[in-house]
Structure 1
Amino acid sequence: MKFEGTAAYVATDDLKLAVNAAITLQRPLLVKGEPGTGKTMLAEQLAESFGTRLITWHIKFTTKAHQGLYEYDAVSRLRDSQLGVEGVHEVSNYIKKGKLWEAFETDERVILLIDEIDKADIEFPNDLLQELDRMEFFVYETGETIKARQRPIIVITSNNEKELPDAFLRRCFFHYIAFPDRETLQKIVDVHFPRIKSTLVSEALNIFFDVRSLPGLKKKPSTSELVDWLKLLMADDIGEAVLRERDPTKAIPPLAGALVKNEQDVQLLERLAFMSRRGNR
């Protein structure tokens, strides 16, 4: 199985090499990078490329590792036993399968996405070491061992919110998705908007990179936000001339709410516009 990218996903040569290396080594692919650089979409496009199913485990701050294996509902079983419900003696009726169990029991080789692992507690990755390494786990309530029928291709994403344990990192193949350069962004835009005017894209990219390069910016606009902004520019029929001839003394670019996502950065742009107006007097 070789990943060569898809028509809907522009993958760099480095990223394709990393994906294929992880598959060859049979190790999870740990992908880091700025939010909006296509980490989650990579797993979706892997499933598309290989014609297989994607199983997604979205990690939250409250997520525990055992939830990916299974959860035993002892409270419901106790209640049912008091009510005399039929089947209460069958423990498996009160076990909810997790995403890893779902991936392990399939006959096809699936893509398992563990999304934003750095959101969970610091011990979360360590709690999954054995399961991801040996591709099996033990169900204490039933006494059975669940083994993967087909080793899933595992993609783990992280936004670098916290450091991951060394023991966990040793078991992964790591790749950092650097922010795309101008040429790669042009290809990404062409995938989303094949009929967009090149002159509009050129002017939009000038403004986009200008905003990203501002010192003190709290949240730099991402690739997905550039795509949203271009979609709005096209919907409102704002041409390249408006962007090219934009008055630098105005606060922010048109429809920049798609690019700038907090009041601190809006105020930064407004201060820069104020300084530009004073300098032109």
Structure 2
Amino acid sequence: MRFTGTEDYVATDDLTVAVNAAITLQRPLLVKGEPGTGKTELARQVAAALKVPMLEWAVKSTTRAQQGLYEYDAVSRLRDSQLGDDRVHDISNYIRKGKLWQAFDADERVVLLIDEIDKADIEFPNDLLQELDKMEFHVYETGETIAAKHRPIVIITSNNEKELPDAFLRRCFFHYIKFPDAETLAKIVEVHHPGIKPALLTTALTQFFSVRDQQGLKKKPSTSEMLDWLKLLLAEDLSAEDLKSDPSSALPRLHGALLKNEQDVHLFERLAFMARGGR
């Protein structure tokens, strides 16, 4: 199994090397990068390229590691026992399989995405160390050990909101997705908006990188926001000349797709005010 990218996903050489290295080493691939740089989409595209199913475990602040293994529904069992239901005699009826169990139990190799692991409690990664390392876990209620039939390709994403434990990092192959340069971003745009006029693309990219490079910006626009902005420009049938039509305004056309908080909008409004000589 080797990943070389897909028609729908522009993968840089260093990213494809990272994916294939993780597959060869049979280690989880830990992917970091700015929000909107395609970390989650990477897992979907790896699954599509390798023609294997994908399971997605979206981590939240309340997510516990145990939920990825299984959950025992003691409340339902108690209720059924009070109602005289025969199901209570088989405790397995009250075991809910988590995403790791589903991945381990699959009849073929799967891609398992653990998305935004840094949202959970700091102990969350440590609680998964043994399971991800040995690819097995014990179910205490039934006494059985669940071992992976086929070792899944594990892709873990992080937005770097909090530091991950060293012991966890040691078990992963790490890759940081850098923000794409203009050439790579143009290739990404061509995938999503084929046939876009070169003049419009050049002007849009120039304005986009001008926004990203502005000092004092609280949130830099991401790749996904750039694609949304271009979609709006095309829907409004705007040309390169339209984007340049108001040189006195520092705000790009349809800037709501790029700037996502009032501080950044006010920053560009102040720049426009100063460019007009403070009048």
- Aligned partners of 1:159, 1:190: CA distance in 2, in Å? 26
1:149-172 Cα offsets, whole Å, 9 max, x none, are 000000000000000000000000
C-alpha distance in 1, partners of 2:61/2:173?
Answer: 24
Query: 1:18-33 to 2 correspondence within 5 Å?
Result: 18-33=18-33
Give the corresponding residue for 2:62.
62
Counterpart of 1:40 in structure 2 is 40
Q: How many pairs align?
A: 279
2:261 maps to 262
Instruction: Tell me, in whole angstroms, the C-alpha distance in 2 between the residues paired with 1:88 and 1:156.
Output: 37
1:253 corresponds to which residue?
Answer: 252
Matches within 5 A, 1:98-247: 98-247=98-247
Structure 1 residue 55 displacement after superposition: 0.2
What is the alpha-carbon distance in structure 1 between the residues aligned to residue 110 and residue 134 of structure 2? 17
Secondary structure of the residue that 1:211 maps to in structure 2? helix
> What is the SS of the residue equivalent to 2:40?
helix
Gap runs ≥5 in structure 1: none
Q: Offset of 1:251 from its aligned partner?
A: 5.1
Partner of 1:53: 53
Whole-angstrom CA distance in 1 between matches of 2:270 and 2:37: 29
Matched to 1:3, the amino acid is: F
Query: Are 1:10 and 2:10 matched, yes or no?
Result: yes
CA-CA distance at 1:185 after TM superposition: 0.2
Alpha-carbon distance between aligned partners in 2 of 1:77 and 1:272, rounded to the nearest angstrom: 64
Offset of residue 79 of structure 1: 1.3
Superposition RMSD on alpha carbons, in Å? 0.9
Q: Aligned partners of 2:236 and 2:7: how far apart in 1?
A: 27
Shift of 1:86: 2.2
Matching residue's letter, 2:219? K
For 2:264 and 2:216, the matched residues in 1 are separated by: 8
Give the residue type in structure 2 aligned to 1:49: A
How far the C-alpha of 1:220 sits from its partner, in A, is 0.2
After TM superposition, the runs of 4+ consecutive aligned structure 1 residues lying more than 4 A away are none
> TM-score normalized by structure 1?
0.98
2: CA distance, partners of 1:13 / 1:38: 15
Q: Find the residue that maps to 2:37 and give its secondary structure.
A: coil
> Equivalents in 2 of 1:261, 1:244: separation in Å?
22
Report the CA distance between 1:277 and its aligned residue: 1.2
Kindly provide the amino acid, as one letter, of the partner of residue 27 in structure 2: R
Q: What SS is found at the alignment partner of 2:85?
A: coil
CA distance in 1, matches of 2:157, 2:210: 28
1: distance between equivalents of 2:9 and 2:25? Answer: 24
Opposite residue 89 of structure 1, the aligned amino acid is H
2:87 counterpart SS class:
coil
Separation (CA, whole Å) in 1 of partners of 2:54 and 2:218: 33
Distance 2:144 2:31 in 1: 33
Tell me how far 1:80 sits from its aligned partner: 1.2
Q: How many Å separate the matches in 2 of 1:26 and 1:94? A: 32
Paired position in structure 2 for 1:272: 271
Deviation of residue 188 (structure 1)? 0.2
Q: Percent identity?
A: 71
State the TM-score, normalized to the length of structure 2: 0.98
